[in-house]
Amino acid sequence: MDALVRLDDVRKSFGATRAVDGVCASVPVGRVTGLVGADGAGKTTLLRLMAGLLAPDGGTVSASDALGYMPQRFGLYEDLTVAENLSLYADLRGLAPAEQGDTFARLLSFSGLAGFETRLAGKLSGGMKQKLGLACALVATPRLLLLDEPSVGVDPVSRRELWRMVHELADQGVAVVWSTAYLDEAERCHSVLLLDQGRLIYDGPPKDLTQRMRGRSFAVRGIMDRRVVQAAARRHVGVADALIQGAAVRLVLAEGAAVPAAAELGAPQAVVEPVAPRFEDAFIALLDRHGGPVPALPEIVHHPRPRGGAVVEARDLVRRFGDFTAVDHVGFDVAPGEIFGLLGPNGAGKSTTFRMLCGLMEPSSGVARVAGIDLASAAPEAKQRLGYMSQKFSLYPDLSVRQNLDFFAGVYGLSGARRKAVCGAMLDVFALGPMADTNAGQLPLGFKQRLALAAAILHGPDILFLDEPTSGVDPLVRREFWGHINTLAGDGVAVLVTTHFLDEAEYCDRIGIVYRGRLIAVGSPEEIKASARNPEQPDPTLEDAFIALVEACDREERS
C-alpha cells in the first residue's frame, strides 16, 4: 500500500527531554491512523515533524507535500465570519477565485456549517470551531491530513460528526492522522501508533492489541457500594485496573493473575463475570505504571460530612440573554456524597446552569441554593462551602506551586500554622513537593490539573464543582483524579461535574442531560442507558443513549 508518510528512526529532543525517540512507522493512504498516547507522550511533536514544522535531530521523515495540518488551537480568526475565514485560507493556499465558490459550498455542506456563513468564528461552539478548522484545512484538498487532538472540548454529537467526516475523507483516499488521548477514539481508527514517552510501543490495528487482553477483563456486578469495591480492587495484587462503569466495577487483571473472588473485593454477594476487553484495558496494561500508595488527604479536607437532605438545589432556574433563553426551568438536587454529572452538547445551557449554581451568574428567575444558603442573598457564606475547578485549570502562571496554594488558602481565610499544614499536606498528597518552587505556568498538564484540584479543595468544601475537569488529560491522570474525587464523595462531599467524556459520566451516581436549555433526562447511568434500549440497540452505551435522547428531542421540536 502507498504510504504518504515514512518515519525512519526519527528522534527529537527538547533539552534533556526526548520527545520522540527512535520512531519507525508509516501512514498509509485511505486510512485513519490514530496517534495515541498519554499527555506528553510526544504526539504533537511527531505531528509537527510530519508536517515539516520541526526538523528531526536524527533519522528521516518523508511526507507528502499536499498536506493539511490542524493544530490543537487552529488559527481561526475569531473576528471574521465563517465564510471570511474560509476565503482567507483559500487565498493563503492560492486557490483560484473561480474554484472558490464550488469548494466552499462543498466544504460547508460537508462540515454542516451551511447556514452559518455569516456567523463570527468566535461565536461558534467548540465543536463547530473544530469543524470550521477542518474545513479550512481542507480547502486545498490535501492528500495527507494531520489532526492534533481535534476532539478536545467537543461534545459527543459533534465528535461523532467529526469522525464521520474523517472516515468519508479516508474513503476518498486521503491519509488521515488523528492524534488523541481518548482511548475510545483509538478503536475507531483503522490502525494506531501508540506512543509512550517518545517511543512507539505498538503499531497495528487496535483490535489486535485489544485481543491480547482476552480473559483479563471482568465486571463485578450486583454490588451495593461501587466505590468500596473499586477501592478494594485497587488494593488487590491481581488487579491492574479497576474502574466504575455505571452500577458495575470493571476490572483488568494483571498478566497471569487469578480471578479474584467476590469476597476479596468486599462484596460477598457480587458476581464477577468476564466481559469483552477494550482498547483502554490494553493501554493501561501495556503502560502498567503503578505508583506506591497515595498519601491520605489532610483532615481538613478528608473528614465525614453530615448526610441527608440536598446540598445543591436548583429550583426552576431560568437564564435569559436578551430574547434567547439559555436555561429554561431547570431543577434538580444533589445529595451529600453524590456525584452528579451535567451532560449536554456545547451551547445547550449546561455551562450556564453550572455557573448559576456556583454563583458565577445570576439567574433571571428561580433559586440556586448551595448548602442551604441562597446564592442571591448570602453568596460569600455559600462560597466558603464550595470548591470550584474549571477546565482551564485557573492558576496563576507566574506564581510558584507553593505560592498558588498559599494564595488560595489565604483567600479562603486559612492563616498561620493551619495554612502551612494544609499547603504542606497538599504538596505531599498530590506529589507536587519536588515542583513546589516551579512556576505553575511551566507545569505539565497533568500536574496543573493536580494543583488546580488541590487549590479547589484545600479549604475542605462540602460541595465540589468540576467544570470539564479532565479535558485533555490522559487516562492515567484521569484515574488518579477520580480516585481523589471518590474519596471525597465517600466523605459525603457532593460533587457536581460537567463533562464531554461519556466514560467519565459512568463514574457519576446520577446524570442530567441538558439540551436546548432544558433538562431532558435525569437518572443513574444505568437508567439513562435503559431508556435508550430498543431492538436495534440491545446494549446501548451511554454515548448511544445520549445521542438517542438528543435526537428524540429534536424530532419532538420539529413535529
Partner 1 sequence: MWGRVWALIVKELLSVWRDKKSRFVLIVPPLIQLAVFSYAATYDVTDVTVALFNQDQGLASRELVARIQGAPTFARLQVVDDEAALAAAIDRRDAMMGLRIPQDFSRRLESGQGATVQVILDGRRSNSAQIAAGYLTTIVISHNAAIAAQASQPVGPTLVTRVWFNPNLESLWVVVPGLVGVLTQVVALVVTGLSVARERELGTFEQLLVTPLRPWEILVGKTAPGMLIGLVEGSIIIAASQIWFHVPLTGSVALLYGALAVFLLCTIGVGLFISALASTQQQAIMGAFFFMVPTMILSGFATPVQNMPDWMQTLTLVNPVRHILVVLWGVFLKDMPAALVWHSVWPMAVLAAVTLTGAAWLFRRRMY
**Which residues of this protein are in contact with partner 1, per CB under 8 A?**
355, 358-362, 380-381, 383-384, 386, 388, 390, 392, 394-400, 403, 406-413, 415, 439, 455, 465
Q: Quick one: 295 or 410, whose CB is closer to partner 1?
A: 410
Q: Quick one: 2 or 398, whose CB is closer to partner 1?
A: 398
The burial class, CB within 10 Å (0-12 / 13-18 / 19+), for 57 is middle
From residue 554, how far is each of 93, 105, 126 by CA, in Å? 38, 25, 20
Q: Quick one: 403 or 531, whose CB is closer to partner 1?
A: 403
CA–CA separation, 151 and 471 (whole Å): 10
Cβ 416 to partner 1, closest distance in Å?
9
Residue 235: strand, helix, or coil: helix
Cβ 15 to partner 1, closest distance in Å?
19
Residue 122 is given by DSSP the state: G
Cβ 382 to partner 1, closest distance in Å?
9
Cβ 423 to partner 1, closest distance in Å?
12
Cβ 455 to partner 1, closest distance in Å?
8
Q: 478503536: which residue's cell?
A: 187
Q: Crossing angle of helices 82-92/126-137, nearest 10°?
A: 30
Longest Cα pair distance anywhere in the chain, in angstroms? 73
Q: Quick one: 54 or 358, whose CB is closer to partner 1?
A: 358
Residue type (1 letter), 482: W
> Judging by DSSP bridges, how do beta strands 58-63 and 67-70 pair with one another?
unpaired
Cβ 122 to partner 1, closest distance in Å?
11
Q: Quick one: 399 or 522, whose CB is closer to partner 1?
A: 399
Q: Quick one: 193 or 389, whose CB is closer to partner 1?
A: 389
Residue 12 neighbours by CB under 8 Å, 6+ apart: 18, 19, 20, 45, 49, 54, 56, 57
The residue among 17, 558, 530 whose CA lies nearest residue 247 is: 530
Cβ 45 to partner 1, closest distance in Å?
26
Cβ 139 to partner 1, closest distance in Å?
28
Q: Quick one: 212 or 385, whose CB is closer to partner 1?
A: 385
> Judging by DSSP bridges, how do beta strands 199-204 and 191-196 pair with one another?
antiparallel
Q: How many C-beta atoms surround the C-beta of residue 246 within 10 A? A: 20
Q: Quick one: 154 or 458, whose CB is closer to partner 1?
A: 458
Q: Quick one: 197 or 439, whose CB is closer to partner 1?
A: 439
Q: First-to-last CA distance in the chain?
A: 49
* The C-alpha cell that represents 443 in the structure block: 507545569
Cβ 379 to partner 1, closest distance in Å?
8
Q: What share of the chain is helix, strand, coil (3-state, %, to 5)?
A: 35, 25, 40
